Homo-oligomer: A and B are copies of this chain.
Amino acid sequence: MHEGLSERRRSFHRYPEPAWREFYTTSLLVEAIEEVEVDELAVGREAMAPDERMAVPSDEELAPWFERARKRGAREDVLDACEGGYTGCVAVLDRGEGPSIGLRVDIDGLFVEEAPDESHRPAREGFRSEHEGLMHACGHDAHMTVGLAVLEAVAESDFSGTFTVFFQPAEEEGGGGRPMAEGPYAKGIEYLLCVHVGLDHPTGEVVAGMEKPLAMSHMNVAFEGESSHAGQAPEKGANAIQAMASAVSEAYAIPRHSEGMTRVNVGRVEAGTASNVIAEDARITAEVRGETTRLMESMKGRFERICTSAAEMHGCGADVAIHSESPRADSDPELATLVQEVARGVEGVNRPVGTAEFGASEDATFLMQAVQEAGGLATYAIVGTDHPDSHHTPHFDVDERSLGIAVDVLTESIERIRKERP
């Protein structure tokens, strides 16, 4: 029944593409979706609110991937729809009366060099990444496979209602969630299912609803000063390195918040040129998090004020750019309970769990939040998979038995939602 799943997952695995550059991936998805009788298929720009993209690469970063996809055989109509870095697609089954149910999967790869050794199954069995330096090291190849299979299963069933599958680009740096959530297809979704494999949960375990992802904002700051000779005219410069150092020290000193957990980090600094030059330029990469979106926003406001004031203090300017962001959204217990009950009856599931804490950030929360704010219900489920090494590492791999489990849990949950409308 689930025979083609491995094969399809492996074909995705061979061609990982980074965020907003999933041109060939989208083409593969479109070809697969067209084999199902869907009522609507929006590709690229049309699938999203195009102005809401975040963490968008430069034209120089986009171009080679666009060309590579073309050479690899991507369809020209898909390339046209995605040109400029508007990747991904949304498929809709419109089957009359019934609930509007959504499923969200993500599609991008990572800048990880895949392991070439025999101990790594993709290398051993010949489906290792053909894009050197890129890898599906977080299971998005599995997610796409599952998304397509659920679409097929629902299409072939007697489902009535509306079923929408979001093939979301650019999850890794948090860039694709918002344009999907603000786009035309999020509206009216009453029940949203999100799915992720693994995350240290073994094959056979299913977590029906993740809780407490941290709201996050990832920022790039550029401090701009003026250079001068450090020996001959130190007072003539406006020292961007001093401004940066002051901002960094003070950022960590943003006060703790009585309403809950917060975080702040400056994780990368690059500044100046040589020891005898007052630096005119310093760039930092930073992030703030909060137990709630409100706490994250409070941290962000403080962080921006610190950067601006630190720059002023040294006669510099500071440009704070939001690279990407994700709100907090929790799984709704009613929907999670339904998924947990379904999982209990699925073959291969030996540990159906209700909820678990997330401890990290995910931009699926944009879609979840949009659905919840409109009165709908959402859950973010984990389908366990034995993985030989951690996510985001060269030896990461999924246990393909979990593909069928995921398809069953999701397909049956959709059926159950239609019947019970929790």
Contact = CB atoms under 8 A, between A and B. Distances in A.
Copies in the complex: 4
A174 to B, nearest CB: 11
Interface in A299-357: 305-306, 308-310, 312-313, 315, 323
A237 interface: yes
**Which of A245, A259, A273 has most B Cβ within 10 Å?**
A245
Contacts of A422: none
Given A234-B256, A241-B248, A309-B312, A267 B275 contact: yes
Contact of A313 (B219, B275, B277, B305): B305
Interface stretch (A133-141, A193-201, A225-233): A225-233
B262 A256 contact: yes
A282 interface: yes
Given A246-B246, A310-B313, A313-B306, A265 B269 contact: no
Contact of A249 (B249, B259, B270, B271): B249
Given A234-B263, A310-B313, A359-B231, A272 B276 contact: no
B249 A250 contact: yes
Interface stretch (A7-15, A69-77, A161-169, A284-292): A284-292
A187 to B, nearest CB: 31
A382 interface: no
Given A309-B309, A360-B232, A265 B253 contact: no
A376 to B, nearest CB: 28
A1 interface: no
Given A231-B360, A232-B360, A234-B257, A266 B287 contact: no
Contact of A250 (B236, B246, B270, B298): B246
A241 B269 contact: yes
Given A272-B268, A275-B218, A231 B263 contact: yes
Contacts of A272: 266-269, 285
Nearest to A233: B258
A270 B267 contact: no
B242 A248 contact: yes
Contact of A279 (B244, B245, B261, B267): B267
Interface of A: 214, 216, 218-219, 230-237, 239, 241-242, 244-246, 248-250, 252-259, 261-279, 282, 285-287, 289, 298, 305-306, 308-310, 312-313, 315, 323, 359-361
Q: Which 6 A-B pairs have the closest CB atoms?
A: A252-B253, A230-B265, A309-B313, A245-B248, A275-B287, A253-B253
